[in-house]
Amino acid sequence: MKICVATGTRAEYGLLKPLIDRILSESMFELQTLVTGAHLSPEFGLTYKEIEKDGIKIDAKVEMLVSADTPESIVKSMGLGLIGYADAFKLLQPDIIIILGDRYEMLAVASAALIFRIPIVHINGGDITEGAYDDAIRHSITKMSQFHFATTEEYSKRVIQMGEPPEKVFNVGAIGLDNIKRLRLLEPVDIEAQLNIQFKQFNYLVAFHPETLSEFSVEEQFNSLLGAIDAQKDSLFIFTKANADTDGRIINKLIEEYCAKNTAKAILFESLGSLKFLSVMKHVDAIVGNSSSGITEAPSLKTATINIGNRQKGRIQALSILNCSANTTEIMQCFKRVKEDEFKEIVKRVSNPYGSGDTSFLIIEVLKSIKPEQLKVKKFYNL
């Protein structure tokens, strides 16, 4: 069985890497990789090189990013992607394609695969994220897919509610936890050496992405966060760049300017990679921003999360997550709460609702059991 794995961002590849490794280890599967989006952009670090460095053959590269982040440029990027995916699928002719999540690059991949009649395996369906257009994209991919791997029982039920047959819907937990379980994370002294930083009394990882459905501008939201960061004493802030969503470049410019002016307390990395990203997250006081990593991975690392705005609104959350609006005063209150002994004890004892890190194994076991007749036209499941 030729299984094609599609990836368009550094974060996405990091999540998929354990599954890719398991596919490679199974003699009944032939791995194909379709690499696109920010992976091929110098602006985002040409992260396809990380895939090649891992010894994974890239079977198709599809350039699609227009060098802008306005709505019209995003739509044009999707159009370019569709053209490229048509050529890629004609060449590769996979039996199955695996798509993770809810990004616009993957909506274009799914649309092309649907027309080519390539069965889609969708990971992370059934979530709710009310603050971004990713929410609608995720549900759209669900309706184009044949098999579904959700992260919680509630999300599995939601996929079935959308008319997907229960026998093709599986609760396997969050695939991001696999790396936590399998990687040997770096100790603080090693992080300092490899990143050329020095931890302070308080340390934070900042991952902030555009809230694409917000009535407030990204400048307003992010400047509110920077205002709260300014007020923190004896603190180090480790920034990662925003993704290639609408207005992501605005956030990245603000980060670059802030880090250039505040070298004593702030540093920016285009891409940390899975090992360094998770290692930093484990040893900081909190991950700050609106990344899904703060929702799914941080609780397993016993790290607090300051979740800002509505980008992740609707997702099941652990007790280690503090929610606030993009308001400087509210964000500062969360920084204060993170430092309180009572809350630190809550974080230390927290249970992660997204599983225990066996997701890639569970997915492979299902894929091994798939019969050809299950890949034919699916029927709508009525509740």
> What pLDDT, on the 0 to 100 scale, is given for residue 248?
84
Higher model confidence: residue 216 or residue 348? 348
- Residue spans per domain, the chain: 2-172+358-375, 186-349
Whole-number pLDDT of residue 333: 98
Residue 143 in this model has a pLDDT that exceeds 90 = yes
pLDDT digits (tens, 9 = 90+) for 18-76: 999 999 999 999 999 999 999 998 888 889 999 999 999 999 999 998 877 788 999 99
pLDDT of residue 270: 83
The answer, yes or no, to whether residue 301 has pLDDT greater than 80, is yes
pLDDT at position 69 is: 77
186-349 has the same fold as 2-172+358-375: yes
Task: Round to whole Å and give the CA distance between 294 and 288.
Answer: 8
**With pLDDT > 70 as the criterion, what percentage of the chain qualifies?**
100
| pLDDT per residue as tens digits for the range 144-176 | 999 999 999 999 999 999 999 999 999 999 999
Whether the pLDDT of residue 373 is over 80: the answer is no
Asked if residue 214 has pLDDT above 90, the reply is no
Going by their DSSP bridges, the two strands 96-100 and 2-7 should be labelled as parallel
| Segment 108-124 mean pLDDT | 97
Domain 186-349 has CATH 3.30.230.70: no
pLDDT of residue 283: 97
CATH superfamily of domain region 2-172+358-375:
Glycogen Phosphorylase B; (3.40.50.2000)
